[in-house]
Amino acid sequence: MTLAEKILAAHSGKKRVSPGEFITVRVDLVMANDITAPIAIREFERLGTDAVFDPQRVVMVTDHNVPAKDILAAENAKLLRDFAHQHGLVYLDGGEFGIEHVVLPEQGLVLPGDVVVGADSHTCTYGALGSFATGMGSTDIACAMATGEIWMKVPPTIKFVYHGRAKKWVTAKDLILYTIGDIGVDGALYAAMEFWGEAIAELSMDGRFTMANMAIEAGAKVGLFRTDEKTVEYVKSRARRPYQVYEPDEDSQYSKVVEYDVSLIEPQVAFPHLPSNTRGISEVGEVRIDQAVIGSCTNGRLEDLRLAAQVLRGRKVHPEVRCLIIPGSQEVYLQALREGLAEVFVQAGATVTMPTCGPCGGFHMGVLAPGERCIATTNRNFVGRMGSPKSEVYLANPAIAAASAILGRIGGPEEVMG
């Protein structure tokens, strides 16, 4: 069996599961946020049950509209907070913790071998830890909160192998953008993506979270990494409970195997209005920008901020560009302060905010006007994703976003650093 099948079999009480099979799966963690939880809470209350299946395995996070941008956002946050306190759930407020897909691994709430469901499509981020993590609708989440179980069709698995060593400035973000550009936004539809190869082994945990986060942008059910020494080291000081590591069999049956030579990949930019509309940085041309956003659940981790600071240090943001730096968590923010990264950003003319999903979904703190263009380290660039449907969003890694903020147009770090 593949890694996905191994985990699902263990959580469904079966010796073996196969793609296309419908199974009932025990979950280790259920999550919802201030956008999706209100619906889940209403549906949960309609079930007539008095309690969730396990308060320590249900997590509520306020992160999308934090700080609350209007009365409705404040009401939703209050509903979530009151429900969490009423049922004794794990409650993570953005002011103390941060963006859900950054803080759940940080807090040791998600562990290798887990089955995790979240009312957010980018729940697949946790596949970086070797857990089967996937997004679900709020109604399904309500049932999972009540029963601790979900039903699922076992997905087929596609194996992606990344050979070689990446060039300078080519990051995990570029590997996943290149992959999505190659296979398309439906290239892994309802499949598990397994990431393999020497280039994958070299990635830090921050990089692996970035790749797993964007598996959904290829239509995948989950993006999975094997649990290796880096994973174990990451969870060792964080784990709040025991966990089980699963390994794919040597004779795993994959629906497809896709291989890449990463030495041939250059930094990528996804043009509007799909993550698959990718071009190498050398093919971008002259694209003026109005805003640069560095952060989000995709690239708001410490490694990302260090990369952006490397480019911005001693330089100035273009006078016609707004540059927003959004740490993925308060832990990341605090470390950025300790390392002097925040000072680099402020001196460069960027705005550093508290952790929030904010502009990524077009909620607040960076919404675009008609005709404006933004380069962002976020995960989606659909029509109207960051504001006006007449605006444009381009996706790139933190070094490209930082360099573009300086240049006033999309460009690479070599242009500003020599």
Q: What is the pLDDT of residues 100-132, one digit of tens each?
A: 999 999 999 999 999 999 999 999 999 999 999
Mean pLDDT of the chain: 96
Residue 240: pLDDT band (50, 70, 90) is confident
- In contact, 244 and 26? CB cutoff 8 Å: no
Instruction: Evaluate if residue 183 carries a pLDDT over 80.
Output: yes
Amino acid making up residue 116: V
Kindly list the domain boundaries of the chain, sorted by start residue: 3-259, 269-413
- In contact, 152 and 115? CB cutoff 8 Å: no
At 295-321, the pLDDT tens digits run 999 999 999 999 999 999 999 999 999
Element (H, E) at 132: strand 132-135
- In contact, 378 and 357? CB cutoff 8 Å: no
What is the average pLDDT across 322-347?
A: 97
| Residue 41: predicted pLDDT | 96
- Report which of 317, 307, 287, 301 is spatially closest to residue 381, judged by C-alpha positions: 287
Kindly state the percentage of the chain with pLDDT values over 70: 100
- Report which of 234, 249, 216 is spatially closest to residue 118, judged by C-alpha positions: 216
Instruction: Evaluate if residue 418 carries a pLDDT over 80.
Output: no
Same CATH fold, 269-413 and 3-259? yes
Query: What CATH number belongs to 269-413?
Result: 3.30.499.10
Instruction: Evaluate if residue 193 carries a pLDDT over 80.
Output: yes
Kindly state the percentage of the chain with pLDDT values over 90: 96
At 349-390, the pLDDT tens digits run 999 999 999 999 999 999 999 999 999 999 999 999 999 999
Amino acid making up residue 193: M
**CA dist., res. 172 & res. 157, Å (int):** 20
**CA dist., res. 132 & res. 152, Å (int):** 12
The residues, any chain, with a CB within 8 Å of residue 400's CB and separated by 6 or more, are: 169, 267, 269, 281, 375, 410, 411, 412, 413
- In contact, 138 and 39? CB cutoff 8 Å: yes
Residue 186: other Cβ atoms inside 10 A: 11
**CA dist., res. 274 & res. 270, Å (int):** 7
CATH superfamily for 3-259 is Aconitase, domain 3 (3.30.499.10)
